[in-house]
Amino acid sequence: MVKPVAPRANGAVRVRVRGQDLSLDELASFVNANQRRRLLARRRQRSGARNFAEWVVIIGAALVVAIVIKSFVFQAFYIPSESMEPTLRPGDRVLVNKVSYDLHSIHRGDIVVFKRPPNEAGDPTIKDLIKRVIGTPGDTIEARSDGKVYINGKRLNESYLPAGAVTTNLPLQQIPPGEYFVMGDNRTNSKDSRYIGLIPGRLIVGRAFVRVWPLSSLGFL
């Protein structure tokens, strides 16, 4: 509250503000200081609101990018069984490139994740499976008495299999267009195309290209 104060002997006009006697110059400085404080307070409020809005936009954009990447580019998958041992073990996690096969064809030897075929009668909670591509459209494929796989009459070099591994229950057949023959690296414990049939290309989600867990086994596949 501002109150006038009786002039002093020298004629100077004084004003009482909050219990203090101020000259006109001091009053002007006081008013200017208050105005500056209010201005700074308003600026801080606006700055805080602007910073909050910026963080909301940044977080929202990050979430959108994460959703887009997961839906269309890369996705992590969990290995639920022993069918790909020793290459992949239960509990491992891999990243799958979902756009890989938009850029090139599916290659023999690729490790792929695919949607569970309707005729596969395993655990219904497992929606995706992971196997290795062994036969591609147009190939003939068979396992002979030596326990080895033959593609188009030639023995397939499967260096990823453990020593002594044999493949059985694979009579000679030709793979039709648009379908793939997949098997697990653990040939004696893998429910694959020998049992569930060929995998249509449309069911293949993408190529597993790197193991990200456990960290001690981090690396490309």
Question: Is 70 assigned a catalytic role?
Answer: no
In sequence order, what DSSP letters do the residues of 15-73 get, joined into one string?
EEETTEEEEHHHHHHHHHHHHHHHHHHHHHHHHHHHHHHHHHHHHHHHHHHHHHHHHHT
> Token pair for residue 134?
């062994």
CA 126 vs CA 78, 104, 129, 202, 213: distances in Å:
10, 28, 8, 18, 19
| Catalytic choice (98, 131, 190, 193) | 131
> Token pair for residue 117?
């075929």
Between vectors from CA 122 to CA 120 and to CA 124, what angle results, nearest 5°? 100
* One-letter amino acid for residue 62 of the chain: A
Quote the CA–CA distance of 90 and 16 in Å, as a whole number: 82
| Catalytic choice (83, 100, 190, 193) | 83
Burial 24-62 (b: 16+ CB within 10 A, else e): eeebeebeeeeeeeeeeeeeeeeeeeeeeeeeeeeeeee
Question: Is 131 assigned a catalytic role?
Answer: yes
Q: Is 165 exposed, middle or buried (0-12, 13-18, 19+ CB in 10 A)?
A: middle
Q: Which residues are catalytic?
A: 83, 131
